[in-house]
Structure 1
Amino acid sequence: MEFKYLEESLKKLDFNSLDRLFEELDYEIFEQILYRLAYDPDTGDSNIFVYTYMLRLLEFKEEWRIHISISRLMGMILNHIDGCELIGLYHAIKADKLKPMDANILEIILYYNHIPEKILTDEEALIYSQKLLMVKPDSDIAKGEN
């Protein structure tokens, strides 16, 4: 499927083409397509409608991996838009509730304590760091070395 077609479908809120891709592709590849639809590094254009689409995916099946994808999208890709990092943290915490004690999820949550806005407080970060050290004792992020 042509990328421009997906981009136009998204702008029209016609999600059928994206749904077909979601069913056909490996999730990591699909995730990268969504990220590219959300932000074009060549032009600097952002498309927040990708978030709308991902929320729609959660309506059908609430999965930790979709929450983590949204967290990355909002906290790392669209973080130049006010409020997106807070949305990203929210979805990372939701992922942790669905898949507790996952080192990758806990590291993403701790990311929000290391950004300039520091939307995850030091007290909250300490709790998540302790959880992370239980499952990944050598984690530099949990030890505060990153």
Structure 2
Amino acid sequence: MRPLPTITKQYTIRKIILIFSLILYTSTIYGQYSKSSEALTAEFFAMYKRDTNAAFDFIFETNEWLANDKEEIDKIKAEVLEYKTTLGDYMGFEKLINKHIGGNLNVFVYLVKYERQPLKFIFKYYKSKNKWMLYKFKIEENIDKDIDKIIEHELLNKF
């Protein structure tokens, strides 16, 4: 058996490199396109720690209809900026609720911790055309009602 000519070996190596590059490129594009709602929220909070405005731009860009409502996005950004001045420094976050409703709706509720008091962020995601997108977002400052309901529920179950 004769050894393959050098040209064929180079051709084979180039072919392997090309195939590998295409696979890597395709998986990267598919990975960005199909991020889970959990991954979107994790990326939001990673950005929120550094730049709240960029975090909101990112999460609202997952839904082209919400991204076009610049007035609402700017309102939320201004609200968060006001919270920074009245509530102190951002101290982190904690997931309170992770609810999957069917295969195409997810709701996440987070406690967003500031020095003075926490806020509640509610993310509602919808999966359309195999892509998760933010469907609704809400910030709640007064979480006392929730705490009171939990306490009342616990007391009723105790007796």
TM-score by length of 2: 0.25
Q: Which structure shows the bigger proportion of residues in strand conformation? A: 2
Larger Rg belongs to:
2
Scaled by the length of structure 1, the TM-score of the pair is 0.27
Higher relative contact order (CA 8 A, sep 6+): 2
Point out the structure with the larger helix share. 1
